[in-house]
């Protein structure tokens, strides 16, 4: 088998890359270990930056997003018993964020690729990359009972944080920079009337977040111990924890409803440098992880592959590799901005086990500043919608 670009992983990075390459007349094959049903049902990120929405729309996969996406004109920080609004739409001159779940983006991209006769191999096994520093790297895999060797010009490692591409790079060719946080997020999806808000709440019992996904569906999170377990949380206990962290002096509250799903999400900051080895490029979670506070993960994955597809297009049109050579440095500038923003949001909003009263006063002072200074709010807004 042969293709121009072999893409490992059908997450937002891999599927979007395949879609962008197709629009530029470049052939690709996408290899995915899970089934189509599984990738289209996995609940993950929810918030799309303006640039992500624009790219999906301009490349013809934004129709359902325009109909069903939930634009939020701003976000609320909840502390001192009240909601404090940051009007991102106004501060950013009309740019904002849209809540549209990641698995819906996946569905739209899979549909577009298959309608264009794109080659996506679901449920592949034993995926392995080789010959990375030659001009013809290879991906080996098993599909529908048969073993394959896929020759290609380039490999895109879009296989997420537990994939096979990054570990195939010799350890001495990569720098790994990492930070682990002493808490996780307990998340629920609930059928409950919307509060039409995106609320990041700081409370002495710990962080909580409300994200209205649709008028009927709410995604809500609160900080828990990283060793906690979903089975420790009955529905009653979950709602009582949300009330303890969200109800306040202003009388604002949320609606309870049927809990459809519960999960626990680990919190980590992680970057590898560079995002390239020979003819293999890493994109998305394969190269970097952010803690979810600030909702940058999926947006970074899409931004990476927008640069990668430009570099590949330039290579195939001109035979020159300078944009591909610049890929890692260009992505890492954006990645480190998002790493800082996600770390900063996480640090401002969570309770850390070692925190004392002094630290809590600093967090509150930062929250009051960001919600009362136009300069501070502007800085937050330009990072939240996606800083170019
Ligand atoms: P992924 O989406 O991980 O896609 C990688 C794909 O590669 C997967 O489909 C996987 O099955 C496949 N794969 C893995 N190994 C192989 C292999 N060997 N061969 C072939 N295929 C392989 N971000 C936010 O912004 N907000 C959130 O609320 C949020 N919640 C999250 C919750 C969870 C549980 C997780 C894990 C992440 C969450 N994120 C969130 C992060 C966000 O979802 C990711 O940043 C985003 O999915 C990155 O996209 P990706 O395409 O790089 O990787
Ligand atoms: C959602 C996730 C986030 O990480 C965030 O900061 C806001 C919203 C969500 O899942 O909807």
At 98 the pLDDT is: 94
Give the Å distances, CA to CA, from 365 to 57, 132, 362, 370. 39, 50, 5, 9
Q: Kindly report the pTM of this predicted structure.
A: 0.96
Taking CB atoms and a 6 Å cutoff, what residues make up the pocket around ligand 2? 45-47, 99, 209, 211, 219, 292-295
Q: Can you tell me which atom of ligand 1 is nearest the CA of 34? A: 11
Domain edges within the chain: 5-72+98-177+268-343, 181-266+351-385
Nearest CA to ligand 2 atom 1: 46
Q: Which residues contact 102 (CB under 8 A, 6 or more apart)?
A: 12, 42, 43, 44, 45, 46, 298
At 216 the pLDDT is: 87
Pair 195, 218: CB distance under 8 Å:
yes
Regarding the beta carbon of 291 and ligand 1, being less than 6 Å apart is answered: no
Mutate which of 86, 209, 342, 346 for ligand 2 pocket (most atoms within 8 A of beta carbon): 209
Q: Can you tell me which atom of ligand 2 is nearest the CA of 294? A: 6
- DSSP 8-state code for residue 34: S
The closest ligand to the CA of 297 turns out to be 1
168-177 long-range Cβ contacts below 8 angstroms, 24+ apart = 168/128, 168/129, 168/130, 168/132, 168/280, 169/132, 169/277, 169/280, 170/277, 173/277, 174/272, 174/273, 174/274, 174/277, 175/272, 175/273, 176/270, 176/271, 176/272, 177/270, 177/271, 177/272, 177/273
At 194 the pLDDT is: 76
At 2 the pLDDT is: 98
Regarding the beta carbon of 184 and ligand 1, being less than 6 Å apart is answered: no
Whole-number Å distance, alpha carbon 23 to ligand 2 midpoint, is 30
The closest ligand to the CA of 10 turns out to be 1
Mutate which of 195, 211, 212 for ligand 2 pocket (most atoms within 8 A of beta carbon): 211
CATH class for domain 5-72+98-177+268-343?
A: alpha beta
Measured CA to CA, the distance from residue 185 to residue 343 in angstroms comes to: 15
At 355 the pLDDT is: 87
State which fold the 181-266+351-385 domain adopts: D-Amino Acid Oxidase; Chain A, domain 2 (3.30.9)
| Secondary structure (3-state) at 37 | helix
- pLDDT, tens digit only, all 388 positions of the chain: 999 999 999 999 999 999 999 999 999 999 999 999 999 999 888 899 999 999 999 999 999 999 999 898 999 999 999 999 999 999 999 999 999 999 999 999 999 999 999 999 999 999 999 999 999 999 999 999 999 999 999 999 999 999 999 999 999 999 999 999 999 999 999 999 877 779 999 999 999 999 988 888 899 999 999 999 999 999 999 999 999 999 988 999 899 999 999 999 999 999 999 999 999 999 999 999 999 999 999 999 999 999 999 999 999 999 999 999 999 999 999 999 999 999 999 999 999 998 899 999 999 999 999 999 999 999 999 999 999 8
238: enclosing H helix or E strand: helix 235-246
Regarding the beta carbon of 6 and ligand 1, being less than 6 Å apart is answered: no
Mutate which of 72, 219, 348 for ligand 2 pocket (most atoms within 8 A of beta carbon): 219
Name residue, tokens 């991102």.
88
Whole-number Å distance, alpha carbon 211 to ligand 2 midpoint, is 6
Instruction: Give me 135's structure tokens.
Output: 């001009």
Which DSSP string do the residues of 138-167 spell out, in sequence order? Answer: EEEEEETTEEEEEE-SEEEE---TT-STGG
At 193 the pLDDT is: 83
Q: Can you tell me which atom of ligand 2 is nearest the CA of 45? A: 10
Q: What is the per-residue pLDDT across 113-125, written as a single tens digit (0 to 9) for each?
A: 999 999 999 999 9
At 64 the pLDDT is: 97
On the CB side of 8, CA atoms within 13 Å amount to: 32
């Amino acid at each position: 088998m042969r293709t121009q670009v072999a893409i490992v992983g059908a997450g937002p990075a891999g599927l979007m890359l395949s879609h962008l390459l197709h629009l530029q007349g470049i052939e690709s094959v996408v290899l995915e270990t899970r089934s189509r049903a599984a990738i289209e049902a996995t609940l993950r990120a929810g918030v799309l930056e303006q640039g992500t929405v624009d790219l999906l729309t301009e490349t013809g996969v934004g129709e359902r997003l325009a109909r069903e996406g939930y634009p939020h004109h701003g976000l609320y920080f909840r502390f001192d018993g009240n909601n404090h609004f940051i009007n991102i739409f106004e501060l950013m001159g009309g740019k904002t964020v849209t809540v549209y779940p990641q698995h819906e983006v996946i569905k739209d991209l899979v549909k577009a690729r298959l309608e264009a006769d794109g080659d996506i191999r679901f449920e592949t096994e034993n995926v392995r990359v080789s010959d990375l520093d030659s001009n013809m790297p290879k991906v080996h895999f098993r599909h529908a009972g048969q073993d394959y060797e896929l020759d290609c010009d380039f490999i895109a490692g879009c296989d997420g944080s537990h994939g096979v591409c990054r570990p195939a790079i010799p350890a001495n060719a990569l720098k790994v920079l990492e930070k682990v946080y002493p808490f996780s997020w307990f998340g629920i999806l609930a059928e409950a009337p919307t509060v039409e808000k995106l609320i990041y709440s700081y409370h002495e019992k710990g962080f909580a977040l409300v994200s209205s996904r649709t008028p009927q569906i709410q995604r809500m999170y609160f900080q828990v111990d990283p060793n906690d377990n979903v089975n420790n949380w009955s529905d009653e206990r979950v709602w009582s924890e949300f009330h303890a962290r969200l109800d306040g002096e202003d009388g604002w509250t949320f609606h309870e409803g049927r809990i459809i799903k519960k999960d626990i999400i680990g919190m980590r900051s992680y970057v590898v440098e560079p995002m390239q080895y020979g003819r293999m490029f890493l994109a998305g979670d394969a190269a970097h992880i952010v803690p979810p506070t600030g909702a940058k993960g999926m947006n970074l994955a899409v931004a990476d592959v927008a640069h990668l597809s430009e570099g590949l297009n330039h290579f195939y049109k001109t035979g020159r590799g300078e944009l591909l050579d610049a890929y890692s440095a260009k992505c890492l500038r954006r990645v480190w901005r998002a790493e800082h923003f996600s770390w900063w949001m996480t640090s401002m909003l969570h309770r850390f086990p070692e925190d004392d009263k002094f630290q809590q006063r600093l967090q509150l002072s930062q929250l009051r500043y960001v919600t009362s200074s136009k300069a501070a709010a502007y800085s937050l807004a330009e990072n939240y919608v996606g800083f170019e």
